Chains A and B, each alone.
Chain A
Amino acid sequence: MAAASNNQPLLEVRSLRVEFPTRRGTLLAVDDVSFDIAPGEVLGVVGESGAGKSLTGNAIIGLLEPPGRVAGGEIRLEGRRIDNLPYEEMRKVRGARIGAIFQDPLTSLNPLYSVGRQLVETIQTHLPLSASEARTRAIELLKEVGIPGAEMRIDHYPHQFSGGMRQRVVIALALCAGPRLIVADEPTTALDVSIQAQIIALLKRLCREHGTAVMLVTHDMGVIAETADRVAVMYAGRIAEIGPVRDVVKHAKHPYTKGLMGSIPSLGVRSERLTQIDGAMPRLTEIPPGCAFNPRCGARGQRCLVERPDLMAAGTTRAACWLHDRGGVGPAVGKETVDA
């Protein structure tokens, strides 16, 4: 699987299941998801809202919001199983081995503490440094994330920073104890488009310099194409396709991925309309039997209605689609007519 690395992967996720018990029965929000991240690699995770990408990220950092819970599978970091650690053990992993960046930099920082204090407390929680050593490290980090006048700005409060600057502070906070992996959940969604590219470039550069791997969760294919080494496309709680970013973007093998790529405008090609995928992703309560994508799929066959495909080799990527199985999709079935 982990073609990018010959060594042991940094993160191994195996058959991860995340459940939400509700009054109307248990919802399976992440269903049998497996992937690896190699040291220093950037894995993009892309999908529509509700595809389970953020939940997968939260499960990895051990911060699923109740009643959500990991119902099955394993998560290993550097070979050590982390999905079943007691809270206190997992707390020591968070920040120190796995950092996290969330969507909204405006609300990620505590408004009542200076950024310096938040950096210093995080550093001192994980590293045996004195207050003044931690402060020195905090100033270096702020310089590294490109905050001008870091020596002075360290004592400022979050509301004195702009959105982009705050997300830089958040990145410094995620990196300050030297984690091996950063789970970045929509890190640029809340920012101005002009700032987004800067933040992504910064994140990419810092992680390369520190040798930190990144799991970049986003619904923005452009960000993924620019940043990621590999990409996993999620649909209805499962991975539809995973592979090197170039191959997935240019030669998608899963009909859903193809549709997704067709819906991105490209500068070179002039077209009247962008292609779109008819219908919408099913609710968790209404996932059809067989392949979850089958009601929207133009290439579906009898087999897609009854048998659920797992990831299988499809050229240079791996796709969960019977088109790439020796048995094929079976006799063709017309696409359901769904209003767009």
Chain B
Amino acid sequence: MLAFILRRLLQSIAVLLAVGVVAFSLFRYVGDPINAMVGQDTTMEERAELRTKLGLNDPAPVQFFHFIANAAQGKFGLSYRTSEPVGRLILERIPATLELSLCAAVFALFVGVPMGVYTGLYPKHWSSRLFQAVSLIGISLPTFLIGILLILVFAVWLRLLPSFGRGETVQIGWWTTNFLTWSGLKALILPSITLGLFQLTLLMRLVRSEMLEVMRTDYIKFARARGLTNRAINFGHALKNTLVPVITVTGLQLGALIAFAIVTETVFAWPGVGQLFIQSVQFSDIPVMAAYLMLIGLLFVLINLTVDLLYFVVDPRLRSQGGTARVAGH
């Protein structure tokens, strides 16, 4: 178990280094950072001096080492656009994105999984067929379109919910939260649904097909022959056996939710890191882009690590093998 965690940690570090290479090459190949920093009337000598001072003449590996060493301490330099430290910019924005992604994930899980169980248990019922049909829409409509439609209906026509922004937030230390004010909570509803809808339909369809498969297995038949209640069979024996793929997909999708919140944040003018990233791209604000890249890489790695550890909790077959075997799809 411990060996497994250590091995996983090493792999995670390797992944982050690879992401670091990509982030680092942004600095070297996407424009000249000196041009972005100095005015038009700066002389060539001053530029060369600045270049040496910033270490840009060092060999690439040395520069890369400095970049990684600073990144590990959360130092990504100053934003070209606002001249603020990038770390602080991101820290200001990250709570908005994390809260939005969390709400979307909770919405997707707590609606998608029960719907999947239901449609898996009663595949022929008319409501299951309806869910299946509606889920096709959810899976095929692009996120921005769903967001705009929701704004049209709930903000423009019905005037029930705000169409943009976070509403009032409460500051707890450096973290700003939506959860403690009424307007903050209301502001969360539409973006969360927009962001979570795709994951919801994905989860529903996944759980459904896994349930259909599990219900055909011998141990479910034997559980029936033992006279267990439907409740124990459906939600104990069957659902638990669908969990491994569900955890995998939920984990990957949680990373995707955070990374691809960009579109939703743009549609709803949500002041999160995604929006920050879009602004940075427009300004070629490379330090912010690099930091964003590293942050998303870190989140993916952390989530995958958690997912791998959850497998152990769910599946006893992995525990005894010391984690040498990966979970094959059931």
Contact = CB atoms under 8 A, between A and B. Distances in A.
A94 B227 contact: yes
- Give the one of A113, A160, A173 with max B CB within 10 A: A113
Given A111-B317, A113-B237, A157-B317, A61 B219 contact: no
A112 B229 contact: no
B316 A170 contact: no
A310 to B, nearest CB: 31
A212 to B, nearest CB: 15
A96 B219 CA distance: 18
A104 B224 contact: no
A102 B218 contact: yes
B229 A91 contact: yes
Contacts of A93: 227
A91 B227 contact: yes
Nearest to A160: B320
A136 B317 CA distance: 25
A157 B320 CA distance: 10
A252 to B, nearest CB: 33
A107 B217 contact: yes
Contacts of A177: 227
B315 interface: yes
B110 interface: no
Contacts of B230: 91
B223 interface: yes
A125 B228 contact: yes
Interface of B: 217-219, 221-230, 232, 236-237, 240-241, 314-317, 320
A114 interface: yes
Nearest to A111: B317
A114 B316 CA distance: 9
B24 to A, nearest CB: 44
A96 B241 contact: no
B225 A100 contact: yes
A110 interface: yes
Contacts of A174: 225-226
Given A110-B237, A112-B240, A100 B317 contact: no
Interface string A123-152: 001100000000000000000000000000
Nearest to A97: B227
Nearest to B216: A65
B318 to A, nearest CB: 10
B243 to A, nearest CB: 8
Contacts of A94: 224-227
11 contacts: A63-B221, A91-B224, A108-B218, A111-B241, A111-B317, A112-B316, A121-B236, A159-B316, A159-B317, A160-B320, A174-B226
A110 B230 CA distance: 15
A96 B227 contact: yes
A173 B226 contact: yes
B172 to A, nearest CB: 39
- Give the one of B228, B230, B320 with max A CB within 10 A: B228
A112 B225 CA distance: 18
Given A112-B241, A113-B237, A159-B316, 7 more contacts: A91-B224, A94-B224, A99-B225, A102-B221, A110-B241, A112-B314, A157-B316
Interface in A86-100: 91-96, 99-100
Contacts of A170: 222
Contacts of B226: 94-95, 99-100, 122, 125, 173-174
Contacts of B317: 111, 157, 159
B105 to A, nearest CB: 24
Nearest to B319: A157
Contact of B225 (A102, A107, A110): A102
A224 interface: no
Contact of B219 (A63, A99, A111): A111
A109 interface: yes
B66 to A, nearest CB: 49
A282 to B, nearest CB: 28
A108 B222 contact: yes
Contacts of B225: 61, 63, 94-95, 99-100, 102, 174
Interface in A151-183: 157, 159-160, 170, 173-174, 177
A104 B217 CA distance: 11
A122 B232 CA distance: 10
Nearest to A100: B225
Contacts of A109: 219, 222
A122 B227 contact: yes
B319 to A, nearest CB: 9
The 6 tightest CB contacts between A and B, nearest first, are A95-B227, A100-B225, A94-B227, A107-B218, A157-B316, A108-B222
B232 A104 contact: no
Contacts of B222: 100, 102, 108-109, 170, 173
